[in-house]
Amino acid sequence: MLDIKFIRDNLEIVTAALGKKGVEFDAASFSSMDERRKSALTRAQSLQAEKKKASRQVGVLIKQGMSPDAAKSQVMGGIDSDISVAESEAKEAEAALHDWLMAIPNVPHDDVPAGKDEDDNIEVLTWGEPVKLDFSARDHVDLGEPLGMSFDAGTAVAGSRFVALSGQIARLHRALAQFMLNTHIEEHGYEETYVPYLVNREALEGTGQLPKFAEDLFCIPAAQGDKDFYLIPTAEVPVTNLLRDSVVEAELPIKKVAHTPCFRSEAGSYGRDTRGMIRQHQFDKVELVQFVQAGQSETALEELTGHAEAILQKLGLPYRKVILCGGDLGFSAAKTYDLEVWLPGQDKYREISSCSNFMDYQARRMQARWRNPETGKPELLHTLNGSGLAVGRTLVAVLENYQQADGSVIVPDVLRPYMGGLEVLNP
């Protein structure tokens, strides 16, 4: 969440910055709630000071021979009741402002371009040349079904937007995940991390999915006593929350990588990408998460995005990198790069990774801190994450970019050790 003091001191800047995200910031409501909170706290503190002063007077009266009960009755009056009321009002005002701020998105970085939607994102670079085939390109559905990809089986078991993989293509899917993990661990310095696939409400509030985006999640009501569980929409949620309510004493940066399934309701995507694996309710992803100190997160974002790019380059998959405009920027993100891979079957670039810098926005919600060795004081961390990569979409990209005229698919060189030396997938 945003820092209250920063908002108070920069109302016009915050209002303009959130406007870049298409969000109308109600400065008047903020100021009103903030003033109510401060007034309630001031009254509670003032009454506590009065009670302290009165306590000294009680002591004087007792020394003069008055009974303790009589002295308290004479001096204290109803001050304890007044304090209770004032403290209750202060807590209510604090909670109201906190809940209101939880629904306010992060302010975009100065580098973020203005724009309404994905059409206004700006291309930063391209890598590789889009594949030109001398035959009519098939999409991954036509290529995959003879290789063991079954949407009918997925639908029969669970419903629409599910797929079942068998045989060669299931092994290729696993190979991709293992290749990504090994690359990030051995070459990029990430620590492999295994996390729960179910999380509580507090974890999702910490990373910003709740309270605003409940409809995008799969909730399991009252799964543990009176608490709801949620299927993770991304490993970002459990991995980032590993440092919740903590003060890190270790050296920064902390870099973690996790391979997990991800579950999304795809609310609002009715009619979009109904064919194939591009938009599924369940998919696998290798997620990169970094925790860094303030002042280092911009450099870390470039590094993390480069780690995701390295996977595409090793696989020989053409892609482009875009910086998201304000209107397409995520709720918690201050700045985001998307990597979009070339898909011959669709004759276009499609998103395969999203890499974001959240600054201290998530850390403030989670109270994730580190101890600055120079001052000895706890400071909020900066958090970042990115897909390194989405496994299913990478599978799609490999099938379409390495397809042959006879329907076979060449296995990229870097994946062959994970495929038992197999060089070609044959229908």
32 is in an annotated binding site: no
Confirm if 126 and 234 have CB atoms less than 8 A apart: no
Report how far apart, in Å, the C-alpha atoms of 373 and of each of 244, 248, 291, 379, 382 are: 20, 11, 16, 10, 16
What are the two backbone dihedrals, phi and then psi, of residue 357, each rounded to the nearest 5 degrees? -110, 125
Our answer to whether residue 393 is catalytic in this structure is yes
Which ranges in 21-166 belong to alpha helices (H)?
Answer: 27-63, 68-75, 79-102, 140-144, 151-157
Does residue 130 have a cis bond before it (omega within 30 degrees)?
Answer: no
Q: How many CB atoms lie within 10 A of CB 96?
A: 13
Strand order, beta sheet including 122-127: 122-127, 319-323, 335-343, 348-357, 382-390, 282-292, 254-263, 191-192
264 is in an annotated binding site: yes
55 is in an annotated binding site: no
Our answer to whether residue 354 is catalytic in this structure is yes
Q: What angle do CA 227, 247, 90 make, to 5 degrees?
A: 60
**Residue in 201, 279, 320, 371 annotated catalytic:** 279
Our answer to whether residue 400 is catalytic in this structure is no
Our answer to whether residue 279 is catalytic in this structure is yes
Residue 207 tokens read as 């990373």
Q: Which helix (H) or strand (E) holds 247?
A: strand 246-248
Our answer to whether residue 81 is catalytic in this structure is no
266 is in an annotated binding site: yes
**C-alpha 267: how far from chain center:** 17
235 is in an annotated binding site: yes
**Residue in 354, 356, 364, 400 annotated catalytic:** 354
**Residue in 50, 89, 351, 379 annotated catalytic:** 351
37 is in an annotated binding site: no
8 is in an annotated binding site: no
351 is in an annotated binding site: yes
Q: What is the DSSP string of 148-174?
A: TEEHHHHHHHT-SS--EE-HHHHHHHH
Residue 164 tokens read as 């079942």
**Residue in 37, 161, 171, 264 annotated catalytic:** 264
Confirm if 356 and 330 have CB atoms less than 8 A apart: yes
C-alpha–C-alpha distance, residues 341 and 350, integer Å: 5
CA nearest 362: which of 212, 206, 227? Answer: 206
C-alpha–C-alpha distance, residues 244 and 291, integer Å: 12
350 is in an annotated binding site: no
C-alpha–C-alpha distance, residues 98 and 104, integer Å: 10
Tell me the residue length of the chain.
427
**Residue in 297, 356, 393, 400 annotated catalytic:** 393
Report how far apart, in Å, the C-alpha atoms of 215 and of each of 43, 292, 362, 390 are: 40, 31, 20, 22
Residues belonging to the binding site are: 234-236, 264-266, 287, 351-354, 387
Binding-site residue positions for ATP: 264-266, 351-354
Positions marked active-site: 264, 279, 351, 354, 393
Binding site, annotated residues for L-serine: 234-236, 287, 387
